[in-house]
């Protein structure tokens, strides 16, 4: 990455002046002033695609909703953006998000960013609700129709949760399918770029373009592994065996899979099986230890030196040591939620807490992976693992969220916010493909989504199952 030439300071300042100080209303923090080109060609020609503001697009600011990056303009395009534009897509704009992806409602943003409204409420419901997070801008842009599709990122549910709240489709691919080169890290071992659109077929079209090997990201799946995965996925034929983890019902007794959906699936020939995944409920606490630990380490790179705001302009009384300067910049540059996570993550990595929190969380992550491996009919196409069980299932099905979109001011902090991820984090810890598909509306008239999760590399199987649900 160091070989990349930086844009000139003047070009960076010109592009960056549109950043945090003058943010746009609605789902975007930056709208592309250029119109879509009428002469583009390729599989996504003329398609407007919004990208989450943690994905680099040169010539536009990347703020990650953080003051610490105010005015930062990346000097290159993320690999996924290069692939989109090469396929003829038009980048509609940068979509608002929770700061560095930390949140579930797109509320952790600079005060100058106007709120993102969920556009998918029932007619006549005037009370504003959240779009979900952290890719809330991406989901709202698609739901309101200003973007045909959007890229988000999903570390613990940030594509699936807003898709569910906004009544659209959101896909978190198998870990490593979409390059993270040029995507600002939150928790590397969990971060996935994901796709949001109104239909499974549109999601598949975008995924087909951006799911490519990349030498610039060593965690991106190789051509060889992709071939193994495709061969394994193509063997899943005939009526689907669908598993419903009993734990999802125990964790979220108030939400149920729509009966009409289950009956419809039975009519298509699919068989439904209750499966036992005892570690499911430990995923959330494990996730919050691992994600914050990785975040504390990743965010160490922001200290007012290399990226972002021109901190030299800030008036400082008297002399300041390097440490004092770094403390001032990180204290004012990061928002409350991010500072809280850095503290929590740093604590988990200290000598005193390491064994009881970080190592414990890693071991819970292994349990979660093992639970998934035990219920699938197909083995992991690359690592193999335990012998697959012929009684196993092809995909798992359960509600995406424990509720519909919260009203403004509701469930927006602390444990109430974290609990919204309880059904999405297990697939994240196991690195498995997961897709949330709209499944009608709840009694309050707002959309609900259901998730399908498959074996690693079986993104196509998950799409096929999702088309049955759609």
* Minimum CB distance to ligand GLN, residue 158 (Å): 3
Annotated catalytic residue, options 58, 104, 120, 134? 134
- The SS3 call for residue 9 is helix
Annotated catalytic residue, options 23, 48, 52, 428? 52
52 is an active site residue: yes
In the complex with ligand GLN, the residue whose CB is nearer, 74 or 157, is: 157
In the complex with ligand GLN, the residue whose CB is nearer, 225 or 294, is: 294
Q: What is the DSSP string of 212-268?
A: ---TT-TTSPPHHHHHHHHHHHHT--SSPEEEEEHHHHHH-TT----HHHHHHHHHT
In the complex with ligand GLN, the residue whose CB is nearer, 378 or 453, is: 453
Angstrom distance (rounded) from CA 178 to CA 157: 16
Rule CB under 6 A: is residue 82 a binding residue for ligand GLN?
no
Angstrom distance (rounded) from CA 451 to CA 395: 10
Size of the site for ligand GLN (CB under 6 A): 14
- The SS3 call for residue 349 is helix
Rule CB under 6 A: is residue 156 a binding residue for ligand GLN?
yes
Encode 206-230: b = buried (16+ Cβ within 10 Å), e = exposed. Answer: bbebbbbbbeebeebbeeebbebbe
Is-contact 432 453, C-beta < 8 A?
Answer: yes
Binds ligand GLN by CB under 6 A, chosen from 155, 279, 400, 436: 155
Rule CB under 6 A: is residue 291 a binding residue for ligand GLN?
yes
Angstrom distance (rounded) from CA 447 to CA 47: 25
* Minimum CB distance to ligand GLN, residue 395 (Å): 21
Annotated catalytic residue, options 48, 58, 120, 158? 158
Rule CB under 6 A: is residue 170 a binding residue for ligand GLN?
no
Rule CB under 6 A: is residue 93 a binding residue for ligand GLN?
no
Encode 64-86: b = buried (16+ Cβ within 10 Å), e = exposed. Answer: bbbbbbbbbbbebbbbbbbbbbe
- Stretch of 119-127, 155-163, 247-255, 452-460 contacting ligand GLN, by CB under 6 A: 155-163
Is-contact 21 112, C-beta < 8 A?
Answer: yes
Question: Which x/- pattern, by CB under 6 A, does the window 101-130 give for ligand GLN?
Answer: xxxx--------------------------
Binds ligand GLN by CB under 6 A, chosen from 77, 217, 251, 421: 421
158 is an active site residue: yes
Query: Helices in 105-199 by DSSP H: which ranges?
Result: 136-144, 160-166
In the complex with ligand GLN, the residue whose CB is nearer, 240 or 401, is: 401
Distances (CA, A) of 163 to 50, 308, 453: 14, 30, 15
- The SS3 call for residue 441 is strand
List the beta bridge partners of residue 130.
Answer: 117
Rule CB under 6 A: is residue 157 a binding residue for ligand GLN?
yes
134 is an active site residue: yes
In the complex with ligand GLN, the residue whose CB is nearer, 120 or 134, is: 134
- The SS3 call for residue 59 is coil
Binds ligand GLN by CB under 6 A, chosen from 53, 154, 294, 460: 154
* Minimum CB distance to ligand GLN, residue 275 (Å): 24
* Minimum CB distance to ligand GLN, residue 91 (Å): 21
Site of tokens 């809280």: 340
Binds ligand GLN by CB under 6 A, chosen from 65, 158, 298, 404: 158
Structure tokens at 106: 């797109």
Binding site for ligand GLN (CB under 6 A): 101-104, 134, 153-158, 186, 291, 421
Give the residue numbers marked as catalytic. Answer: 52, 134, 158
């Amino acid at each position: 990455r160091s070989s990349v030439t930086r844009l000139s300071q003047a070009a960076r300042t010109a592009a960056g002046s549109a950043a945090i100080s003058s943010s746009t209303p609605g789902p975007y923090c930056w709208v592309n002033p250029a119109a879509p080109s009428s002469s583009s060609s390729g599989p996504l020609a003329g398609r407007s695609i919004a990208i989450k503001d943690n994905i680099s697009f040169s010539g536009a600011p990347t703020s990650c909703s953080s003051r610490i990056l105010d005015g930062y303009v990346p000097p290159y395009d993320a690999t996924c953006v290069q692939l989109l534009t090469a396929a003829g897509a038009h980048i509609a704009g940068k979509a608002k998000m929770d700061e560095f992806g930390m949140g579930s409602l797109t509320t952790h943003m600079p005060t100058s960013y106007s709120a993102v409204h969920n556009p998918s409420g029932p007619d006549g419901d005037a009370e504003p609700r959240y779009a979900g997070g952290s890719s809330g801008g991406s989901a709202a842009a698609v739901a309101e129709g200003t973007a045909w599709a959007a890229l988000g990122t999903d570390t613990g549910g940030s594509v699936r949760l807003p898709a569910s709240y906004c009544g659209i489709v959101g896909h978190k691919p198998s870990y490593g399918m979409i390059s993270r080169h040029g995507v600002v890290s939150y928790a590397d071992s969990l971060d996935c770029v994901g796709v949001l659109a109104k239909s499974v077929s549109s999601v598949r079209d975008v995924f087909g373009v951006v799911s490519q090997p990349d030498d610039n990201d060593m965690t991106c799946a190789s051509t060889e592994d992709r071939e193994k995965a495709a061969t394994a996925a193509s063997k899943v034929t005939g009526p689907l065996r669908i598993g419903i983890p009993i734990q999802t019902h125990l964790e979220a007794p108030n939400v149920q899979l729509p009966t009409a959906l289950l009956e419809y699936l039975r009519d298509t020939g699919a068989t439904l099986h209750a499966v036992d995944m005892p570690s499911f409920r430990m995923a959330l606490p494990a996730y919050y230890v691992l994600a914050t630990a990785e975040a504390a380490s990743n965010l160490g790179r922001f200290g007012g030196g290399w990226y972002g705001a021109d901190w030299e302009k800030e008036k400082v009384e008297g002399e300041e040591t390097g440490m004092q300067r770094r403390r001032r910049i990180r204290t004012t540059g990061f928002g409350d939620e991010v500072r809280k996570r850095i503290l929590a993550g740093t604590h988990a990595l200290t000598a005193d807490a390491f064994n009881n929190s970080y190592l414990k969380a890693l071991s819970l992550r292994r349990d979660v992976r093992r639970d998934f491996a035990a219920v699938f009919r197909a083995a992991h196409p690359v690592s193999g693992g335990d012998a697959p069980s012929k009684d196993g299932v092809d995909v798992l099905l359960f509600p995406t969220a424990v509720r519909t979109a919260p009203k403004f001011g509701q469930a927006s902090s602390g444990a109430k916010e974290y609990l919204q991820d309880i059904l999405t984090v297990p697939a994240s810890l196991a690195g498995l493909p997961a897709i949330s598909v709209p499944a009608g509306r709840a009694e309050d008239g707002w959309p609900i989504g259901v998730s399908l999760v498959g074996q690693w590399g079986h993104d196509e199987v998950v799409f096929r199952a999702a088309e049955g649900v759609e």
